[in-house]
Amino acid sequence: MTNREQITIPPDGRPLEEQPKWRRDFPIDWPQDHYVARRDFTKFMVLTSFAFVVGQAWIVVQNFLRQRRGQPPIRRIAALNDLPIGQSLVFGYPEPDDKRILVRTGEDRFVAFGQECTHLACAVVPELDKQRFFCPCHNGSFDLTTGRPIAGPPRRPLPRVLLEIRDGALYAVGVETTMV
């Protein structure tokens, strides 16, 4: 019995003998080619879905273990493609009320700090052209990459959020408070 998927059909449907010489010399098995493409696509979808499930399960287990050790959770912030270079994003970590600000400073460079100014808790805003976070309340400034105060009344640095890149997404994995 002939397997339908194995039949060679030239693109114009005419028998092989009527095909030009170049096509007879280099026949393309279209049904087989489409079959392989569909099979490879299905395989790809199954593998990526499996990898996603494993990744999510890994995060759940890690969070459980970290919780037992009293460590902050691992939380997904955004897909890398969703944050162009120079853009920022406010998120809550480890609790929704703990406002943090994430800035993409380069292709593979990200920084995230607490959004509250360490002087009197106004919200700071990133100014990439001046390489700083600026607090408009009393003209306080913090270094964009270290979070250290560089001008105005603040004396303490902004708490830094520790980041990890995993599977094309950015995750918050902890908060580091530097003492001066």
Decide if residue 123 touches ligand FES (CB under 6 A): no
Q: What is the closest distance, in whole angstroms, from the C-beta atom of residue 111 to ligand FES in the complex? A: 18
Decide if residue 122 touches ligand FES (CB under 6 A): yes
Using DSSP's 3-state secondary structure scheme, residue 84 falls into coil
Tokens of 165: 């890149």
Decide if residue 31 touches ligand FES (CB under 6 A): no
Binds ligand FES by CB under 6 A, chosen from 114, 126, 147, 154: 154
Decide if residue 55 touches ligand FES (CB under 6 A): no
Nearer to ligand FES, 92 or 152 (CB): 152
CA–centroid distance for 174 within its chain: 17
Decide if residue 101 touches ligand FES (CB under 6 A): no
CA–centroid distance for 131 within its chain: 23
Half-sphere exposure (Cβ direction) of 20: Cα atoms closer than 13 Å? 4
Residues between 127 and 146 that touch ligand FES (CB under 6 A): 135, 137-138, 140
What is each CA distance from 111 to 126, 153, 156, in whole angstroms? 11, 23, 18
Residue 152 to residue 131: CA distance in whole angstroms: 15
Running DSSP on this structure, what letter comes out for residue 138?
T
Decide if residue 120 touches ligand FES (CB under 6 A): yes
The residues of the shown chain that bind ligand FES, judged by CB under 6 A, are: 117, 119-120, 122, 135, 137-138, 140, 152-154
